Structure 1
Amino acid sequence: MTLNLDEQKKLEYSGYRFAGVNGHAGCKICHWTKKSILNQGECYKQKFYGIESHRCLQMSPAIPFCYQKCSFCWRDLSHTETKWDGEYDDPKTIIEDSIALHNNLLCGFFGNDKADKKKLEESKTPNNAAISLAGEPMLYPEIDSLMSEFKRRDFTTFLVTNGLLDEKLRKLENEPTQLYVSLDAPDEKTYKNLCKPQISGAWDKLNNTLEYLKSFNSKTCIRTTCVKGENMNDPKGYAKLVNKADPTYVEIKAYMCVGYSRKRLTLDNMPEHQEIINFSQKIADLTNREIINDSEVSRVVLLK
């Protein structure tokens, strides 16, 4: 089942807009898109990878669907489904509607004297899709066609997955520009406690994805969200999994105490940037990688 109108309105109140007619896809303007238009800063993805924040479309084709209920997720997890039951919108509709909604959400900046006019004009034609807003995008039945349609429109794509649809990932024909796999635990016990998988065999499926990751032609990235007191332990365990996956990059990022996660975690679970650097250095040393960049404002470190 997809979200009903009341559930959609609740998310719309927090800035979401829904594409299509079936209540499963949508977009939201990223905090850093707004900051960039006002020349007040950019997302770490611009610093790390050259993705222009003011031209980034933050979206998801599967907002209410996920195999996990992570404690650190900013969403209201009461509407999380693991099986797709019902109709769905086609990729072309989702993309066209998302771009139109993206522009509509930015229209207020055109009356803002502090807005960078050049960036604002360029923001009308986003050229990167951050497919990470909410939910598990691999659960969208036409994810392969969605990637193909973005590519046809000359978008770069950053696709974030929790890695539990290992067989579907293996069959993905249209790879993203960069594939992110979330790795938020060094062992199965920590994983179950923190990520709360809703299907059986989840840890094995994640490990299958890690094993297969090196076969992708696209750039790949392991991303770890560090929750102080929960999963910032056992760097050797993380290193073993990173070495198995052999990704292009590793991003180690602090949990941010925002949204509905504040009902499950506290500010004490949010690491300082120096703690992220120290933890990252341990993993770097164990994986023969090095810290090549970091963003203090986002509390994230990049290993290569």
Structure 2
Amino acid sequence: MSGAGDRTILLTGVNGQVGFELARSLQGLGNVIAFDRSKLDLSDLDQIRRVVREVRPSLIVNPAAYTAVDKAESDADAAMRANGEAPGVLAEEAKRLGAALVHYSTDYVFDGTKEGAYVEDDAVNPQNVYGKSKLAGEQAIAASGCDHLIFRTSWVYGTRGKNFLLTMLRLGAERDELSVVADQIGAPTWANTIAALTANVLAQSRGKDREWWKRASGVYHLTASGSTSWHGFAEAIFALSDLPKKPHVKAIPASAYPTPATRPANSRMSGQKLRDLFGLEAPDWRDAVALCMAR
């Protein structure tokens, strides 16, 4: 049963930004068996089934994904397999075992035309292949009927992997001026925040019966509080950095920096449902950036 006491937790993508943090945050919530891509590759659906059947987890936590947003435009099959089909296979296997699945999705399921913050039941309309593949994963999980939590997050960064924060620090050390998009708005979200809030929700699920999971199952928005532009995020990073000479950050429109994948202009997502059901308040994005950089 999903809420059983001694849990075996299967964690995917342990070397990724969020997976790395989850491997630490999930300690104490069960026996965490973590896999990197060499042992559990989301592009290999047969391997996924085999691994889940061998481990027989009571909980699967899946932060692994195809995350190369621009590359996905020319690599749609690979993106769809990892982000759309693989979560469906994990969900089917979870259902078969009576296990629960925690999965991560994205603000890119929305088209970004809404004025205010998106809520969970707003109409989805992804504008790029990556967003479409992530939405397919959400839909496959829901269709499986397994107990599940889908956390949509945005603008993920951390101290490892490829992300905006590390890119800015690298480029800022090399250049006197950087041009950064100022007309896309969202919440930069630290991988550690995602892992900590996930662990808090899962701690609440311990010892709970199927009724708890029936009530809790669904989609939640999990991002830092507040919002900014990519330009504002860059300025905050440099203000906190110890670079001897800080670059000038020039604000530009998205139209001046064309990319293969279209990004939503508004990526703000409301955290009200997470607050209402689990009593959790995400930290302000500025506070989280400061903590991350202090690390």
Pairwise same-fold verdict (TM > 0.5): no
**TM class by smaller structure:** 0.3 to 0.5
Q: TM-score, normalised by structure 1?
A: 0.34
Select the structure with the greater relative contact order (CA < 8 A; seq sep ≥ 6). Answer: 2
Q: TM-score, normalised by structure 2?
A: 0.35
